[in-house]
Structure 1
Amino acid sequence: MTKSLRFRLAAGALVAIAVALALVWFVLGHLFEDYLADQYANEMAAVSDALGARLAIENGALSLVSEPSDPRFQTPAGGRYWQITPDDPGASPLRSRSLWDEELTKVSLSKDLYCGFHEAEGPDGATILVTVKAMSVGEGDARKSFTIYTAFSKDEMESSLSNYHRPLQLMLAATGLLLLAAAFLQGLIGLKPLVRLRNEVANIRAGRSAHIGSEGPSEVRPLVNEINLLLAERETAVERARSRASDLAHGLKTPLTVLSHLVESLPEDKRDTALQQIELVRQRADRQLQAARMGVERMATTSLLGISGKLVSVLSPVTDGKGIGWKVDIDPALTIEADPADVAEAMGNILDNAVRFARSRIDVSAAKEGEAIILRVGDDGPGAAPENYAMMLKRGVSVDDAHAGSGLGLAISGDIAEAYGGKIVLSRSDLGGLEVALALPAPKNLAPATEAQDSAGRPVALS
């Protein structure tokens, strides 16, 4: 079942409208059917009364003084019919010319009623609807009882019902479309505060605001207040975490420094081992402090080209001395929602690794691939064997002793990427050395890629 409120509201409105229109169709259809049946019943009753009033007794038999003037009674299968059947055995019935040679009897009438009328076969084989009325004329011994049958075409009544139902269907269909449009508009307007709330939360996550405004419908304000309280508590927790991390950093520095001085008096073999362990503790403490800091900073929209340009500018004096050239190919529209300090540290570690191993060229590029922004840094250095890639991302591990370092750079970058839902992938670069791909989730509504620019924002790449 879908979790969309808009879909649920639309589905509920659709069901409610369909039920309401079906009920209207049923009620109006039956009301008109009853009204039409009453009209025909009244017409047939009037014909029966008129016929009864025109009957006379002549020579002991019923005779009709004059017939109804409606020409349909005079036309065979004309659509209106009457018949007078005396109760006397053997007496011949009187009937309209429209019945031709068809005779109506109680036996020939259907037992089931159609809108209150009996059904019978007409002179042309079509169904007619019949009313039956028992009457008498005269008094005393001269009293004569008889039955008057009046009828009309069933097709005529069904045609009238059909002529009524067609415009009713069109009217109800138009009403349904109008109600659906109104329901959609109501849902659109009703959910607009939630859309605004989502945008304000996105602004808070991106670092563009600190809290949600209190304006809005009264139904949403309690939620807004709770979110603002949660944000305030989060900010307090962040400050407390920063304070504790700072206290831990200062608390560890002094004991580690003292231990470093104390081990100097140890024999050389034990001194080197102790110093290595102290350095390992320092590295792990720095790593844990870094991990504690990541993810608690406020999110912000960070330009990859801006940070890359600054980092390249900082590293250029080192690479210029080694004869290493840069090629930066990053769309200025590419941004990520992350703390700039975290992004700078992750990219700085990757670029620093490339600077240490590159011989003459470092390529830096970034592009949106699917739902991720991928920064690629490749060099023309010696590279590394694929079986060593996983080891290179571990803390305190250096694969190349000739270029030994702390072994934390790529590991820190990997942890920063994971903190934001991304990852680091190592592979062989097109230049022949190592390529490090830093993948981070792409922000929503990312602008389309434009012409590649270098670290200074120019459309021409450095090489």
Structure 2
Amino acid sequence: MTQSLRLRLLVGAVLAIAFILLLVASGLSRIFSNYVADRYRADMSAIIDQLAAGVEFSGGRARMTDEPGDPRFELPGSGLYWQVVGENDLRFRSRSLWDVELAADALQAGPYGFREGQGPDGALILVQLRDLVLETPEGNRPLTLLAGFDRKVMDDAISEYHGAMTIMLVLTAAVLLAAAFLQVGIGLAPLSRLQDGLALVRSGRTDQLPDAGPTELRPLVGELNGLLRERETAIERARARASDLAHGLKTPLTVLLQLADNLPDRERSMIRQQVDLIRQRADRQLQSARLGVEQMAQTGLASLTGKLVSVLAPVTAARGVTWQIGIDEGLTADMDPADLAEALGNVLDNATRYARTVISVSAERDGAFIRLDVEDDGPGVDDEDLVAIARRGVHLAEDEGTGLGLAISTDVLAAYGGRIMFGRSERGGLKVGLFLPARP
């Protein structure tokens, strides 16, 4: 079953319209066909009444004193016929029958209560038959009166009606389908507006959904606003706990550093390094806690990258390293600016340490993500080490770092559903690809 509410409604509307129009078509066809048959039946009865009034018996002989006046009775094969049959080979018939005699016992049962036979040209005719007895001075005289017409005439009339009715029903179906599409579009429009409102909340432009729209959706909007208020409360609590934890760690770490000043140089350096490691890990855990509740902001890549490069440029300028930036101003990542700055800053900082002459930063759309590539022309990393460099504590070279930078970037991107990839740049150094979540 399809998951599209719009498609479900449209399919239901199409099936309902088709079913109703089929019922209407069947009913109208039956009504019109019966109406046409009743008209012909009434016309044939009128002709038989005229025939019965026009037969006279005198001196034991029968004659037609008054024949139906329709001129079609005078034309052979005209499509309209009558015949009178009595005892002792009494026969009267219209000239339209020519030399064909309609035998009552040879007629078959036909549609709409008529009997069916063959006319003078071999075409099927529908016949209405009536048996009666005339009272005469010489006694009662039995007669069989017949009046008929070509079946094709009535079939053509019904067929023409069906053609006109089909056109009318097709136009009606088109109008009803257009109305159904319009109704579904208008009916689901509030859901689209609700989606737009949620997008504004997610982007951080507002913190509540507007309490407007159809009555049926207002309870849902109220529940969502309540959920957003609870989320805001959870954010404040998480920030308070993070702040408390940061302050709680600050004093013990300061005391440890003061105690380390009384130790020999080797032990003092080791303790300082471990204290720095604890601080960075604590910051990372605090950042992870914040990421769990705050992932609704958007960040322009070009602007943020420009700010980071402006901070690092003085460091690289002293070594003659240049920057090449290729980022479209319209690219926006669904990430908090501080989180993206931390993830990208670690990668750029790593590039500044190993680049010889140039660092390249470029970005482009890649499906539901934006791929941001940072390349340098430094010594690079061996292929067997590419998988390990994002692990905590792993160094690209002997330096004074803690080996947490790229691991922190990996954690930040993973918290937002993104990822990071490492490879060899065409410039010879390391190529780091950051896949940032982006709205379609």
Task: State TM-score, norm by structure 1.
Answer: 0.89
Segment drifting more, 224-233 vs 55-64: 55-64
Alignment pair present for 1:362 and 2:398: no
Equivalence for 2:107: 109
Secondary structure at the counterpart of residue 384 of structure 2: helix
Alignment pair present for 1:91 and 2:89: yes
For 1:150, the aligned partner's letter is A
Equivalence for 2:314: 317
Check conservation: 2:84, 2:91, Cα contact below 8 A.
yes
Secondary structure at the counterpart of residue 405 of structure 1: coil
Q: Which of these residues, 423, 428, 436, is aligned with residue 424 of structure 2? A: 428
Structure 1 residues 108 and 267: CA distance shift in structure 2, 3 A: farther
Aligned counterparts of 1:127 and 1:183: Cα–Cα separation in 2 = 47
1:212-231 to structure 2, matched below 5 A, reads 212-231=209-228
1:102-251 to structure 2, matched below 5 A, reads 102-111=100-109, 113-139=110-136, 142-251=139-248
Equivalence for 1:14: 14
Aligned counterparts of 1:22 and 1:182: Cα–Cα separation in 2 = 18
1:15-54 to structure 2, matched below 5 A, reads 15-54=15-54
For 1:424, the aligned partner's letter is I
Segment drifting more, 18-27 vs 263-272: 263-272
Secondary structure at the counterpart of residue 293 of structure 1: helix
Segment drifting more, 321-330 vs 138-147: 138-147
Q: Shift in Å at residue 159 of structure 1? A: 1.0
Equivalence for 2:414: 418
Query: Deviations for 1:333-366, whole angstroms, at most 9, x for unmatched residues?
Result: 2112221111111111110010111122111111
Structure 1 residues 144 and 28: CA distance shift in structure 2, 3 A: same
Aligned counterparts of 2:388 and 2:287: Cα–Cα separation in 1 = 20
Q: Shift in Å at residue 62 of structure 1? A: 3.2
For 1:7, the aligned partner's letter is L
Check conservation: 1:207, 1:298, Cα contact below 8 A.
no
Aligned counterparts of 2:380 and 2:199: Cα–Cα separation in 1 = 40
Query: Deviations for 1:64-117, whole angstroms, at most 9, x for unmatched residues?
Result: 22321212112111111111122x3x4243222212222222332213x31221
Q: Which of these residues, 371, 376, 386, is aligned with residue 374 of structure 1? A: 371
Segment drifting more, 403-412 vs 347-356: 403-412
1:287-366 to structure 2, matched below 5 A, reads 287-297=284-294, 299-366=296-363
Equivalence for 1:64: 64
Equivalenced residue count is 440
Query: Deviations for 1:234-275, whole angstroms, at most 9, x for unmatched residues?
Result: 011111111112222222333444456667888999888877
For 1:205, the aligned partner's letter is R
Secondary structure at the counterpart of residue 143 of structure 1: strand
Structure 1 residues 404 and 428: CA distance shift in structure 2, 3 A: farther
For 2:103, the aligned partner's letter is T
Equivalence for 1:454: none
Segment drifting more, 368-377 vs 136-145: 136-145
For 2:431, the aligned partner's letter is E
Aligned counterparts of 2:293 and 2:21: Cα–Cα separation in 1 = 55
Check conservation: 1:398, 1:404, Cα contact below 8 A.
no
Check conservation: 2:107, 2:116, Cα contact below 8 A.
yes
For 2:438, the aligned partner's letter is A
Structure 1 residues 138 and 380: CA distance shift in structure 2, 3 A: same
For 1:309, the aligned partner's letter is G
Aligned counterparts of 2:29 and 2:336: Cα–Cα separation in 1 = 67
Check conservation: 1:206, 1:338, Cα contact below 8 A.
no
For 2:29, the aligned partner's letter is G
Query: Deviations for 1:274-326, whole angstroms, at most 9, x for unmatched residues?
Result: 77766654443332222112242252231111111111111111111222111
Alignment pair present for 1:405 and 2:401: yes
Aligned counterparts of 2:341 and 2:308: Cα–Cα separation in 1 = 8
Aligned counterparts of 2:106 and 2:272: Cα–Cα separation in 1 = 119
Structure 1 residues 307 and 277: CA distance shift in structure 2, 3 A: closer
Query: Identity over aligned residues, as a percent?
Result: 50
Secondary structure at the counterpart of residue 391 of structure 1: coil
Question: Relative contact order (C-alpha < 8 Å, sep 6+): which is higher?
Answer: 1
Equivalence for 1:452: none
Aligned counterparts of 1:203 and 1:318: Cα–Cα separation in 2 = 39
Q: Shift in Å at residue 118 of structure 1? A: 1.4
Aligned counterparts of 1:265 and 1:340: Cα–Cα separation in 2 = 41
Aligned counterparts of 2:275 and 2:200: Cα–Cα separation in 1 = 43
Task: State TM-score, norm by structure 2.
Answer: 0.94
Aligned counterparts of 1:161 and 1:440: Cα–Cα separation in 2 = 69
Equivalence for 2:439: 443
Secondary structure at the counterpart of residue 47 of structure 1: helix
Segment drifting more, 256-265 vs 165-174: 256-265
Check conservation: 2:413, 2:420, Cα contact below 8 A.
yes
Q: CA RMSD in A?
A: 2.3
Segment drifting more, 262-271 vs 183-192: 262-271
